[in-house]
Amino acid sequence: MADRTDDRNDLESVPGGVSRRGFLGSAVPAAIGVAVAKDALGAPQKAAPVSEVPAAEPSKLTLVVNGRTHKVLVEPRDTLLVVLREKLGLTGTKPGCERGECGACSVLVDGVPRYSCLTLALEAEGREVTTVEGLMKGEELGPVQQAFADEDAFQCGYCTPGQVIAAEGLLRANPDPTLDEIRLGMSGNLCRCGAYSHIFNAVGKAATLRKGR
């Protein structure tokens, strides 16, 4: 009689007519199964062993920069920008975005403008590198530098070395460019101050000064 009373109480206390004993008897194993499955799925995977890559040995590099030969020790990952500034002290070449977008780090490699932040130093071996310092004749400004000063083709001045190098490379390839050719030739160099009209005027004047020389 006591057992029937317990069963009746169980049936009344659990919605749907399932006794407490029956509910617990089915719910507990199910909960254990879920916990086991979750543990199996969520268990952290062991990371694959990572093999250590030995660092590459520094290399001896001979660079010809602005007509002078330099022997330096560089790592394979060193960019031409880093070597020019930190090893040779030629700080006219400026680091800007360092991903080939702004042109502040432009130099001439065999007479052609190139982003030094995207050029490995080892790539420049055996080639002629010209920085903005190399455009001067002693203490005298080069024609492009003089034209930029005359036309007030800068504001903060940070991008100016790269702009001058880009203009020099353009005029070496095309001594008498049109305005559209100047715009195209200078399009790889950004000026955050927005002095573009002055820059274009300076390139045109530099072309005239170069002819005079």
**Confidence (pTM):** 0.74
CA distance 88 to 90: 6
Tell me what pLDDT residue 11 has. Answer: 45
Q: What mean pLDDT is predicted for residues 106-122?
A: 98
At residue 99, φ and ψ (nearest 5 deg) are -145, 25
Tell me what pLDDT residue 211 has. Answer: 87
- Cβ neighbours of 181 (radius 10 Å): 14
CA distance 161 to 86: 17
Domains, the chain, in order of start with CATH, read 59-134 (3.10.20.30), 137-212 (1.10.150.120)
Residues of 73-109 as b/e, b for ≥16 C-beta within 10 angstroms? Answer: ebeeebbbbbbbbebbebebbbebebeeebbbbbbbb
- Answer yes or no: is pLDDT of 111 > 80: yes
Q: Which of 28-37, 50-59, 75-84, 200-209 has the lowest mean pLDDT?
A: 28-37
Q: What mean pLDDT is reported for the chain?
A: 85
Tens digits of per-residue pLDDT, 4-37?
A: 445 444 444 445 555 555 555 555 555 555 454 4
CA distances from 123 to 31, 98, 116 (A): 65, 17, 10
